[in-house]
Structure 1
Amino acid sequence: MDMEALREIQAYAYWFFSLALVIFLCGYIFHIYRSQIKGTRDYEKYGRLALDDELTDSLVEAREEKTENPKKES
Structure 2
Amino acid sequence: MSVETMRELQGYGFFILLVLMVVILYSYWFHLVKSEKAGRRNYEKYGRLALDDKLDDSLVESSADNRSNK
Does TM-score exceed 0.5, indicating one fold? Answer: yes
Deviations 1:16-56 (A, max 9, x none): 00000000000000000000000000000001101101011
Partner of 1:61: 61
Tell me, which stretches of 5 or more residues in structure 1 are unaligned? 67-74
Letter in structure 2 aligned against 1:4:
E
Q: Give the TM-score taking structure 2 as reference length.
A: 0.89
Whether 1:37 and 2:37 are equivalent positions in the alignment is yes
Deviation at residue 5 of structure 1 after TM alignment: 0.2
Aligned residues: 66
Deviates more, 1:57-66 or 1:14-23: 57-66
| Structure 1 residue ranges, 4+ long, deviating more than 4 angstroms after superposition | none
Tell me, which stretches of 5 or more residues in structure 2 are unaligned? none
Q: Provide the rounded CA distance (Å) in 1 between the counterparts of 2:8 and 2:55.
A: 54
Percent identity for Structure 1 against Structure 2 = 47
Q: CA RMSD in A?
A: 1.4
Instruction: Mark the structure with the bigger radius of gyration.
Output: 1
Deviations 1:1-26 (A, max 9, x none): 00000000000000000000000000
Q: Give the TM-score taking structure 1 as reference length.
A: 0.84
